[in-house]
């Protein structure tokens, strides 16, 4: 085995382990809350969770086709809505796409770092920024319904040309 293929399988192994962990967490959360994680919802969640980048609805439809044949788009949209509503995934507004939550089951605000070059996206959960914003003078009396903080730029690997 060459050095690079060994490295590749180690990375693939890490990804598989991370995915298995997210799926176990999703199953546990569904069981805890009495939520029906149906086969389709679980398949959609798996496709989103195994991606390091936000996944759009059309990409999900295309990826589901080999597994399930043609699924009506509205059925898939409803599955996505379910996953967003119950905190399994976040909607990434600037890309109209979806990204698996790293802290399922705990209510939180999130900030996202998104690489313009490779698309890699990282969630930074935390309520401090939201609290700071809501305490600021211009926000006095303003009732926030929805907060989106999505930062675009270059990830460390792309910045140093290793991607």
Residues that bind Zn ion (CB under 5 A): 101, 103, 110, 115, 117-118, 120, 155, 158, 163
CB of 75 to Zn ion, least distance (A): 25
Q: Which is nearer to Zn ion, 72 or 107 (CB)?
A: 107
Q: Is 118 assigned to a binding site?
A: yes
* C-alpha to C-alpha distances, 106 to 19, 25, 110, 145, nearest whole angstrom: 19, 12, 11, 19
**Which of 90, 84, 86, 80 lies closest to 34 in space, CA to CA?**
86
Residue 139 DSSP code: G
Q: Is 115 assigned to a binding site?
A: yes
**Which of 109, 130, 123, 148 lies closest to 54 in space, CA to CA?**
123
Alpha carbons 78 and 38: distance in angstroms, whole number: 12
CB of 82 to Zn ion, least distance (A): 16
Task: Look at residue 162 and give its three-state secondary structure.
Answer: coil
Q: Is 102 assigned to a binding site?
A: no
Q: Which is nearer to Zn ion, 60 or 155 (CB)?
A: 155
Q: Which is nearer to Zn ion, 41 or 86 (CB)?
A: 86
Q: Which is nearer to Zn ion, 7 or 117 (CB)?
A: 117
Q: What are the binding residues for Zn(2+)?
A: 115, 118, 155, 158
Q: What are the binding residues?
A: 115, 118, 155, 158
């Amino acid at each position: 085995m060459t050095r690079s293929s060994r490295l590749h399988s180690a990375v693939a192994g890490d990804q598989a382990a991370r995915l298995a962990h997210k799926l176990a967490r999703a199953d546990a959360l569904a069981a805890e809350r009495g939520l029906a994680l149906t086969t389709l919802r679980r398949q959609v969640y798996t496709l989103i969770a195994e991606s390091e980048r936000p996944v759009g609805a059309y990409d999900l439809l295309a990826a589901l086709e080999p597994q399930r044949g043609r699924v009506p788009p509205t059925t898939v949209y409803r599955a996505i809505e379910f996953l967003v509503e119950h905190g399994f995934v976040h909607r990434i507004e600037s890309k109209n796409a979806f990204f698996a939550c790293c802290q399922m089951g705990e209510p939180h605000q999130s900030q996202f770092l998104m690489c313009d070059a490779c698309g890699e996206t990282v969630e930074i959960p935390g309520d401090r920024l939201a609290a700071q914003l809501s305490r600021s003078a211009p926000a006095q009396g303003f009732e926030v319904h929805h907060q989106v903080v999505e930062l675009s730029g270059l990830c460390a690997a792309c910045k140093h040309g290793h991607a």
